[in-house]
Structure 1
């Protein structure tokens, strides 16, 4: 039997993949690590099928290890005797809580089979939400920017966990970047905000990201260019 790590997407219930929906329908129990992922999962499964897990909001490594070990102890028997799912916003392998569970299972319950079902991540969905095209051949770096951190260097960056937008903005502007912010993109919970003014999102919110692009960057659209010579132009006018 199998434990499925299912990416629910950025937060809207209809952005769960078809594969993810099929597995949610088929498993015996669906474990959720938090309120937001639980809310999305409930769009697809009955509440009686949800198994809630308790993870402390702390950076204390001992407390976190204890919590993940307890979660693995709860999930392992279900995954040995039937099929279970652990759901997480975004993608299970991209800055996700699922990684902690998987490593704990590998250490204490190696007999549990694990399968990953990828999900739409806000790290990619931002491009549509912000109406940004990352053209063919362009580089894009992913950086964490919590607590006012303002990483610099790459021509284009997607920053996540922007919890102090004004401080991050100041550092990026000084380094020559234009910045657009997106808060709670494709999420039903809370207000979605897209802005280039950091004062509009000055309160702390974990679900805030930013797209930063060098101000003097010469961006060529990813389209074919066709030269029209003078002869063709004259024939067209005739």
Structure 2
């Protein structure tokens, strides 16, 4: 049988893909790593199909490895009888907890088949929410910025896990970046915030990201504007 890693999208239930919805409706059990992903899944499957997995709130590597090994065992046992799914917000292959499960299954349960169902990632959802155009030829770097970190270098960056926006903003501004922030974008849980003021997202929240662009960056965009003489002769 197969373990499906299903991307749920950024958090709004109607942004799950058609394929993801079909998998959730056909598998025997759906495992969720957290409260938010579970709330999306409930829109598509009954509570009786949801499997419980325990993930401790700790950074202790030994405890985390033990938790993932136990989770892998539970999911593999479920897949021995029927197809099952493990769901995650965003896309399973982009900054996702699903990577931990897949590595655990590969190591301890190599006979289990794993298939990924892509989801709408914050990498793409942020562009719509913040009104940012990522034009053809753009170089874009993905970085983490937890606890006030402020990576620099690339002309454009998407920063995940911005948990101290004020400190991050001070450093990026000093390095010559214009920064915009988005919190809980396309999520049904919590308040969505889009702002250039870091104090509006000063309260720590794991689901905060930022778009940083070098100040005064030149753009060479294709355009549909034509001068009057060219229009008359067309």
**What TM-score comes out, normalization by structure 1 length?**
0.94
Structure 1 residue 223 displacement after superposition: 3.2
Structure 1 residue 57 displacement after superposition: 1.4
Q: Does 1:99 align with 2:93?
A: no
Partner of residue 6, structure 1: 6
Task: Tell me the distance in 1 between the aligned counterparts of 2:207 and 2:55.
Answer: 18
Structure 1 residue 220 displacement after superposition: 2.4
Q: How does 1:41-52 map to 2 (within 5 A)?
A: 41-52=41-52
Task: Tell me the distance in 2 between the aligned counterparts of 1:234 and 1:47.
Answer: 65
1:140 and 1:158 in contact (8 A); partners too: yes
Q: How does 1:102-121 map to 2 (within 5 A)?
A: 102-121=102-121
Partner of residue 34, structure 1: 34
1:10 and 1:120 in contact (8 A); partners too: yes
Q: How does 1:173-192 map to 2 (within 5 A)?
A: 173-192=173-192
Deviations, residues 35-70 of structure 1 (Å, cap 9, x unaligned): 011001111110111012110111111001100111
Unaligned runs of 5+ in 2: none
The number of residues matched between the two structures is 234
Partner of residue 144, structure 1: 144
**What TM-score comes out, normalization by structure 2 length?**
0.96
Task: Tell me the distance in 2 between the aligned counterparts of 1:38 and 1:146.
Answer: 25
Deviations, residues 75-115 of structure 1 (Å, cap 9, x unaligned): 11211221000000001111111111111111111110000
Partner of residue 74, structure 1: 74
Structure 1 residue 215 displacement after superposition: 0.7
Task: Tell me the distance in 1 between the aligned counterparts of 2:232 and 2:164.
Answer: 58
Partner of residue 135, structure 1: 135
Partner of residue 214, structure 2: 214
Q: Secondary structure at the match of 2:80?
A: helix
Task: Tell me the distance in 2 between the aligned counterparts of 1:109 and 1:7.
Answer: 22
Larger radius of gyration: 1
Q: How does 1:166-177 map to 2 (within 5 A)?
A: 166-177=166-177
Partner of residue 126, structure 1: 126
Partner of residue 64, structure 2: 64
Task: Tell me the distance in 2 between the aligned counterparts of 1:234 and 1:31.
Answer: 63
Deviating beyond 6 angstroms after TM superposition, the runs of 4 or more aligned structure 1 residues are 233-236
Task: Tell me the distance in 2 between the aligned counterparts of 1:211 and 1:222.
Answer: 22
Deviations, residues 199-230 of structure 1 (Å, cap 9, x unaligned): 111110000000011112012224366566x5
